[in-house]
Structure 1
Amino acid sequence: MKGYLQNISKISIANHDFRQVLYTAKHCQLVVMALKPGEEIGAEVHKLDQFFRVEAGTGEAVLDGVQTPIQAGLAIVIPAGTKHNIINTGSIQMSLYTIYSPPNHRDGVIHHTRADAQADNEHFDGKTTE
């Protein structure tokens, strides 16, 4: 079967890696993320659009300086050029998934920790899952 068809909620909640690229298509990419209590993605700006959905935990989304509480079930759309950060302000792991459009990371990459992600200067290399 072409494409990706899985229970993303269960996969997101079971994930304990900071970042794991699950599927990369030509125009978008599906990634699960886990933030430990007090951990954040880190302020960043992309030249692409990004979507987040929180599956477990609580925290804060910061978009162009505006702080908004977030929790399981919330969706966040971040237009290209928006400075943003996601912060886990809760006491349990924040589980979420994100869709980059177009892809942002190398297909299949796994960063077990935020430090691993910061140390790896990888970027999407044009190779898709299929």
Structure 2
Amino acid sequence: MQSRHLRFGKGFRPVFAVRKVQAAEMVIPPGGSEGGPDNYHRGADQWIYVVAGSGLAIVDGARRKLREGSLLVIERGERHEIRNTGHGLLKTLNFYSPPAYTDGGNPRPPGRRAARKRAG
């Protein structure tokens, strides 16, 4: 068993990974954003749960409002951006399947499955 107390400090921080799933916390300040039109995960699906705040998700051009309690799934390969449209911090808990980041927060390359999918 693994356990961590989430602190939701600044920015993005991987928490830990177990086998094929990774958890991370992300905090976006008011007016800030993460991602953009060229941001996507080649080898992982991303599940975002909004812990606090409000924002906007733009996924492959589709817009979805985010608020406390929202759950959003961004499938591998979908280009996306998360914007904080509120007055307070936008705090999210993210899950990646399979893990998408190193412990230091750097993107991992896609696994063999994703590479086969691109090649086929």
When normalised by structure 1's length, the TM-score is 0.74
Q: Which consecutive residues of structure 1, in runs of 5 or more, have no partner in the other structure? A: 111-121, 126-130
Aligned to 1:113: none
Aligned to 1:45: 40
* Of 79, 99, 106, the match for 1:103: 99
* Of 67, 74, 95, the match for 1:71: 67
Bigger fraction of residues in strand: 2
Q: How many residues align?
A: 106
The 5 Å alignment of 1:18-37 reads 18-37=11-30
Moved over 4 A (4+): none
CA–CA distance in structure 2, aligned partners of residues 62 and 32 of structure 1: 19
CA–CA distance in structure 1, aligned partners of residues 94 and 55 of structure 2: 15
Q: Which consecutive residues of structure 2, in runs of 5 or more, have no partner in the other structure? A: 110-120
RMSD of Structure 2 on Structure 1 (CA): 1.7
1:28 shift after superposition: 1.2
Amino-acid identity (%): 27
AA aligned opposite 1:46 = H
